[in-house]
Amino acid sequence: MSQTAAGARSRESEMASWNWEETVRKAEELVVKSMKGNDASHDPAHVWRVRDLALSLAREEQALSSNSDSMQIVELAALLHDIGDYKYLRDPSEDKLVEHFLIDSGIEESKKTKIIKIINGMGFKDELAGLTNGDLPLEFGVVQDADRLDAIGAIGIARCFTFGGSRNRVLHDPNIQPRSDLSKEKYMKKEEQTTVNHFHEKLLKLKDLMKTKAGRKRAEKRHKFMEEFLVEFYEEWDGRA
């Protein structure tokens, strides 16, 4: 048997043993198992929304929508993107859960590599450090945009205050100014900060960091909603409304 024929047969055998629907079902089970103890800002419902948004954005990208492998990469990366999140890490071994899951699922190496690369490059802290670059897969943009869309707008406001409440942060303190020179280290540092300042330090910046045309279009409406909310918030805080 030629090397080419052997390679083709090996791939056919690999594909036959890999069931997409079963992989998605097990990924959903891992999400619930790993994130059910999180507060509602980073719970399984957040993941379902990101998955739906990512697939919706991908359908608007012709280079992705016509490629079943790309759509599978988008869905799995969206499902697994918050497993092992440093903000909720209870056990250092959780950091390897995604990699072990992909290996155990029998997913081919090229897909596994892309999914892990997408997940590792998703964070805002990595963008602050300049680690988001052109080497990332095409699928990366829609997954990151989906995650960031869920961080802004009405849902984003709800999630922001939910997370702040879970960390016992004050809503607002006029004497504590947003950090303007935010670095990765400062962003991750657990220093005293207010929930409202998070809008200025991160959420209001996300619109301009969208990677896809569809993501930028959707972000406009959500961004405007946050700006209007903050105007009302400050007026009510000062007793002017």
Q: Is 149 within the bounds of a domain?
A: yes
The domain in which residue 124 lies consists of 12-237
Asked if residue 93 lies in contact with residue 69, where contact means CB atoms within 8 angstroms, the answer is no
pLDDT of residue 18: 67
Query: Tens of pLDDT along the chain (241 residues)?
Result: 445 444 444 444 444 446 999 999 999 999 999 999 999 999 999 999 999 999 999 999 888 989 999 999 999 999 999 998 888 877 777 778 999 999 999 999 999 999 999 999 988 766 765 656 567 888 999 999 999 999 999 999 999 999 999 999 999 999 999 987 765 666 556 566 899 999 999 999 999 999 999 999 999 999 999 999 999 999 999 999 8
CB atoms within 10 A of CB 214: 21
Close Cβ partners of 152 (under 8 Å, ≥ 6 residues apart): 203, 206, 207, 219, 222, 223, 226
Please give the Cα distance from 88 to 111 (Å, whole number).
Answer: 26
Q: Which residue shows structure tokens 């990101």? A: 50
Integer Cα distance of 207 and 158 in angstroms: 18
Rounded CA gap, 106 and 22, in Å?
11
- Look at residue 95 in the predicted model and tell me its pLDDT: 73
Does residue 4 fall inside a structural domain?
Answer: no
CATH number of the domain enclosing 40: 1.10.3210.50
Q: Is residue 222 part of a domain?
A: yes
Is residue 5 in a domain? no
Instruction: Kindly report the pTM of this predicted structure.
Output: 0.87
Rounded Cα distance between 15 and 8, Å, is: 11
- CA–CA distance, 181 with 201 (Å, rounded to integer): 9
Among 76, 45, 43, which Cα is nearest to 58's?
A: 76
The answer to the question of residue 7 being in a domain is no
87 within domain boundaries: yes
Instruction: Indicate left, alpha or beta for 46 from its phi (over 0: left) and psi (-120 to 50: alpha).
Output: alpha
Q: Is residue 126 part of a domain?
A: yes
Phi-psi region of 239 (alpha: psi -120 to 50; beta: other; left: phi over 0): left
Does residue 114 belong to any structural domain of this protein? yes
**DSSP H stretches of helix in the chain:** 3-17, 20-35, 44-59, 62-65, 68-80, 97-105, 109-120, 124-128, 139-149, 153-166, 184-188, 195-201, 213-237
Domain count across the chain: 1
Q: Which long-range contacts (CB under 8 A, 24 or more apart) does 60-64 make?
A: 60/212, 60/213, 60/214, 61/138, 61/141, 61/142, 61/212, 61/214, 63/138, 64/138, 64/139, 64/142
Give me the pLDDT at residue 224, please.
Answer: 98
